[in-house]
A and B are shown apart, each in its own frame.
Chain A
Amino acid sequence: MSALTDLTIAEARAGLAAKRFSARELAAAHVEAMERAKDLNAYITPTPDKALEMAARSDARLAAGQAGALEGIPLAIKDLFCTEGTRTTAASRILDGFVPPYESTVTSRLWDAGAVMLGKTNLDEFAMGSSNMTSAFGGVKNPWKRRGDARDLVPGGSSGGSAAAVAARIAMGATATDTGGSIRQPAAFCGVVGIKPTYGRCSRWGIVAFASSLDQAGPIARDVRDTAIMLGAMAGHDAKDSTSVPRAVPDYEAALGRGVKGLRFGIPREYMLDGMPAEIARLWEQGIAWLREAGAEPVEISLPHTKYALPAYYIVAPAEASSNLARYDGVRFGTRVAGNSIEELYENTRGAGFGAEVRRRILIGTYVLSAGYYDAYYLKAQKVRALIARDFDEAYAKCDVVLTPTAPSAAFAMGEKMDDPVAMYLNDVFTVTVNLAGLPGISLPAGLSSDGLPLGLQLIGRAFDEETLFAASHVLERAAGFSARPGA
């Protein structure tokens, strides 16, 4: 038998059911692995005691025949989800000392399904970033390295800690959130699977908000089946989130076996960027071939407003963020730096508490909402957003799913692109449209770059049609046979 930490969630589920090992053994194996992989900085707050305690309770439920869908499965939680009694930082100094007195809806559902918490994972501060380098707790090392190059690489972001932990086998799966690509891009950089479900599919209640109209929780795991199992437990209507949708959660795992015969998949011509690395283009072509061989039919489609997506995103997201982050004022929780007046207290607290990227986005967001600029920026961006959604609507008259690369490159080195925010923002070029349109998107590892780094393909679905995404990505996964491992 291979190491317990190498198992997929589905395999561990079977092993626990067959009593080949206990939940406590499974948790302990992960706790030890986490200890050995500390250098990655994937976790901000490991919770080994809690993990072992929860695993013991899982064993009791397993013994009593009361196992939940994720009974005994050790998971990492992005440190943007509030966890009752466990400090929650959003990777920001401003939340210093904040221990939530409540549990987010998504994590509550996971614990109700029997999952075990290993700890809280690192991320870009307030989920603002594509490299995990904006974290107040330092960057996360991607467990992958370029062949013959010792430099540390970024895991992508913002869910860099979650993706790195899953890739490094120090969590079987992880929660993540995606505002412009923060699940899919790090999943691609780390060679794992991540799905951002339809906006409204998972409750946002108890997740530290970045951009409310774009934020959506989803899972990262090592294969498509595991993400389907996790999403099934995370999703569902929540009366506490007015934007969550009252729709039954289908059996996602059951959708895996559907195949793609007769499925029409769209290839958006606007995603063929000038200067796109040849190996990314090649991977995309390979993906087209795999789907076609499995009986699906490629359709050329047009998403004409794609080129406006990134600018629109970098107006809407900072605008909402500037307002969402106003509550971090040093008055009720977190960091407080005193001053001689209330204005000074605000300035000192927010100046000390927020990092450079967060401050940049608050400034941009404040600017685009200001009197005299609102119409030119925010309102126009909202119009672009509506047009992008319409592009997809029209495309889905011709196809059932859209296939694209996940990111325009493989993982880059830590410290790269840090002095050029716009180059950094370009990481999201294939992913932001999906958030702007509120659609589901999945990224799966489909090949390696010439220097041995994982590359991802993205499938974009119709709203609430995650099942087709699971079915099609399962086909791609088997065709790609991606078996490379980091550090191998």
Chain B
Amino acid sequence: MIIEGKTGPWEIVIGLEVHAQVVSDAKLFSGASTAFGAEPNAQVSFVDAAFPGMLPVINRACVEQAVKTGLGLSATINEVSVFDRKNYFYPDLPAGYQISQYKQPIVGEGHLDIDLASGETKRVGIERLHLEQDAGKSIHDQHPQKTYIDLNRAGVALMEIVSKPEMRSPEEAGAYMRKMRALVRYLGTCDGNMEEGSLRCDANVSVRRPGEGLGTRCELKNINSIRFVMQAIEYEARRQVEVLEDGGTIRQETRLFDSAKGVTRPMRSKEHAHDYRYFPDPDLLPLVLDRKWIEEVRASLPELPDAKKARFVSDYKLTPYDAGVLVAEKENAEFFEVVARGRKDPKLAANWVIVELFGALNRLGRDIASSPVSARQLAGLLDLIENDTISGRIAKDVFGFMVETGRDAAAIVEERGLRQVTDTGAIEAAIDKVIADSAAKVAEYRGGKQALFGWFVGQVMKSTGGKANPAAVNELLRKKLAG
């Protein structure tokens, strides 16, 4: 995206730091549970609360999740990585330091291919992925003088995934977040739930004249929805252009996005003026991974969105766009495959899932897991279309009943007498009646007004209650009108 300023065009440069909470039963360095929604401070071990003499021990399951995610990003897995302490005082950080990875992360460079609205695919470089502990939660609004601390989240494993500054528009940033969320969900390494904060991001934004070097960036902190990421970047880029065009300079700073007002504002300097004094955590040895084990993890990876999309295009002859829509969520792709498998026309299945099913779910505000029509039921409906029991038009009505009642298509068709009329005798009779009742229109048609054909079709369908087989109607009507 190019911003046309008063003085000429500006290019936006975006890099994202995604924080993804690792799916694991226990925390990164303690055995405490990670389940969401427990009573405050119910899931805190002495290690999490940083009691004297307590020591961290790495949770192997979290390491495996990070490696899986790294492999999903086609990234280098570092056989040796190091945990460092990031030192700062805050009441919800009990030890006074966060255990993170600074100079030697577990995962190095990789990439993520994002799907753009134009149908194109863009490759965004990944700089690194590292493991770190989450902090606890400070609750300021329960008491006028006091702050309450909930340490349930303290010590939960996070993956910080840092992109290269290779995105050029808010749309690309949105597509990146969507793709990242899909990837970690496919891998089962993060639940991708942005509302609960399992997935959040910081955006580094700068602007420059096209072709010039990088400008000074501002970091937008802790954004927890894809829509907000896009809004925040857009606002911030325009703000920077305005400052620069007015002759000002951009100060490198950390800013917060105020989603209510749609603006970004600088954080108080106190909130970020830290010298973190990183140094290797002497309580932990370097993390050394076995090459063979990494290969075992690689072999255990599920089919990922890009591979699935390619397979949908080649096996089901879908357009790349439709395939992209279907694979965006693992559950949608699975649903589609149940509907499409073994079908003569899998594109029909794709259309029904994308247009009718997604439309209905949207109206109902439900996700696919709670869809009133199961994949097997939708397949049953498409069977009735393919074997000419009902027309596509009638099928839409049947689908409406299915959504309402959750019943099978065949039962609804039987009960409501919606079976398609393919008996040519009955169709012929209906056509004869229409022709007899519309002498003037017949004369016009025969006089050359071919466009009236559709009107005749409509009349026939109307008189048969829509149940006439459209192909048979077309053929017979054409013959009869020809005289």
**Chain A residues within CB distance 8 Å of chain B:** 81-82, 88, 90, 95, 98, 100-102, 104, 204-209, 211-213, 239-243, 319-320, 322-323, 325-327, 329, 331-333, 342, 346, 366, 369-371, 374, 378
Minimum Cβ distance to chain A for residue B14 (Å): 27
Assess A327 versus B50: contact at CB under 8 Å? Given A242-B56, A332-B94. Answer: yes
Closest partner residue, chain B, to A206 (CB atom): B53
Residues of A within 8 A of B53 (CB): 81-82, 100, 102, 104, 204-209
Residues of A within 8 A of B57 (CB): 239-242
Of B236-244, B274-282, B386-394, the one contacting chain A is B274-282
Q: Which of B87, B149, B283, B285 contacts A331 (CB 8 A)?
A: B149
Are A326 and B282 interface neighbours, CB within 8 A? no
Pick 8 A–B contacts, CB within 8 A, sort by A. Answer: A88-B52, A102-B53, A208-B52, A243-B282, A243-B284, A323-B96, A333-B52, A369-B278
Residues of B within 8 A of A319 (CB): 279
Residues of B within 8 A of A327 (CB): 50, 52, 94-96
Residues of A within 8 A of B52 (CB): 82, 88, 90, 95, 98, 100, 208-209, 327, 333
Assess A370 versus B277: contact at CB under 8 Å? Given A207-B53, A209-B53, A242-B55. Answer: yes
Q: Which of B85, B95, B284 contacts A242 (CB 8 A)?
A: B284
Assess A366 versus B277: contact at CB under 8 Å? Given A240-B55, A242-B55, A327-B96. Answer: yes
Are A342 and B147 interface neighbours, CB within 8 A? yes
Are B282 and A329 interface neighbours, CB within 8 A? no
Residues of B within 8 A of A102 (CB): 46, 51, 53
Complex CA–CA separation, A207 to B283 (angstroms): 12
Residues of A within 8 A of B46 (CB): 101-102
Closest partner residue, chain B, to A333 (CB atom): B51
Are A332 and B96 interface neighbours, CB within 8 A? no
Assess A378 versus B91: contact at CB under 8 Å? Given A88-B52, A209-B53, A323-B96. Answer: no
Supply 17 further A-B pairs (C-beta < 8 A) apart from A100-B51, A323-B279, A327-B95: A88-B52, A100-B53, A101-B46, A207-B53, A242-B284, A242-B285, A243-B285, A319-B279, A320-B279, A323-B87, A326-B96, A327-B50, A332-B50, A342-B147, A369-B279, A370-B275, A370-B277
Interface presence of B97 (CB below 8 A)? yes
Are B282 and A212 interface neighbours, CB within 8 A? yes
Find residues 76-133 in chain B having any chain A CB closer than 8 Å to their own CB: 85, 87, 89-91, 94-97
- Sorted nearest first, the 3 A-B pairs with minimum C-beta distance are A326-B96, A213-B282, A369-B277
Are B277 and A243 interface neighbours, CB within 8 A? no
Closest partner residue, chain A, to B270 (CB atom): A343
Minimum Cβ distance to chain A for residue B48 (Å): 11
Interface residues on B, range: 20 to 34
Find residues 6-55 in chain B having any chain A CB closer than 8 Å to their own CB: 46, 49-55
Assess A242 versus B58: contact at CB under 8 Å? Given A323-B279, A327-B50. Answer: yes
Which of B49, B57, B96, B149: most chain A CB closer than 10 A? B96
Closest partner residue, chain A, to B46 (CB atom): A102
Minimum Cβ distance to chain A for residue B188 (Å): 27
Q: Which of B94, B275, B277 contacts A323 (CB 8 A)?
A: B277
Residues of A within 8 A of B282 (CB): 211-213, 243, 320
Residues of A within 8 A of B91 (CB): 329, 331, 342
Assess A329 versus B283: contact at CB under 8 Å? Given A206-B53, A323-B96. Answer: no
Residues of A within 8 A of B275 (CB): 370-371
Minimum Cβ distance to chain A for residue B104 (Å): 14
Residues of A within 8 A of B95 (CB): 326-327
Residues of A within 8 A of B283 (CB): 209, 212, 242-243
Closest partner residue, chain A, to B90 (CB atom): A342
Residues of A within 8 A of B96 (CB): 323, 325-327, 329
Complex CA–CA separation, A412 to B49 (angstroms): 41
Residues of B within 8 A of A332 (CB): 49-51, 94
Complex CA–CA separation, A412 to B411 (angstroms): 100
Residues of A within 8 A of B89 (CB): 326, 329, 346
Closest partner residue, chain A, to B47 (CB atom): A240
Complex CA–CA separation, A346 to B93 (angstroms): 13
Are A331 and B94 interface neighbours, CB within 8 A? yes
Are A326 and B55 interface neighbours, CB within 8 A? no
Minimum Cβ distance to chain B for residue A240 (Å): 6
Residues of A within 8 A of B49 (CB): 332
Closest partner residue, chain A, to B145 (CB atom): A340
Closest partner residue, chain A, to B87 (CB atom): A323
Which of A101, A319, A329: most chain B CB closer than 10 A? A329
Which of B50, B85, B285: most chain A CB closer than 10 A? B50
Residue interface mask B252-288, A partner, CB < 8 A = 1: 0000000000000000000000010111001111000
Q: Which of B54, B90, B147, B279 contacts A374 (CB 8 A)?
A: B279
Minimum Cβ distance to chain B for residue A349 (Å): 11
Residues of B within 8 A of A243 (CB): 282-285
Minimum Cβ distance to chain A for residue B58 (Å): 7
Residues of A within 8 A of B51 (CB): 100, 102, 332-333
Residues of A within 8 A of B285 (CB): 242-243
Complex CA–CA separation, A322 to B88 (angstroms): 11
Residues of B within 8 A of A346 (CB): 89
Are B55 and A241 interface neighbours, CB within 8 A? yes
Complex CA–CA separation, A207 to B54 (angstroms): 8
Closest partner residue, chain B, to A340 (CB atom): B145
Complex CA–CA separation, A320 to B46 (angstroms): 20
Residues of B within 8 A of A331 (CB): 91, 94, 149
Assess A205 versus B277: contact at CB under 8 Å? Given A323-B85, A326-B95, A342-B91. Answer: no
Q: Which of A209, A241, A326, A366 contacts B97 (CB 8 A)?
A: A326
Residues of B within 8 A of A208 (CB): 52-53
Complex CA–CA separation, A240 to B56 (angstroms): 8
Minimum Cβ distance to chain A for residue B26 (Å): 14
Closest partner residue, chain A, to B277 (CB atom): A369
Residues of B within 8 A of A101 (CB): 46
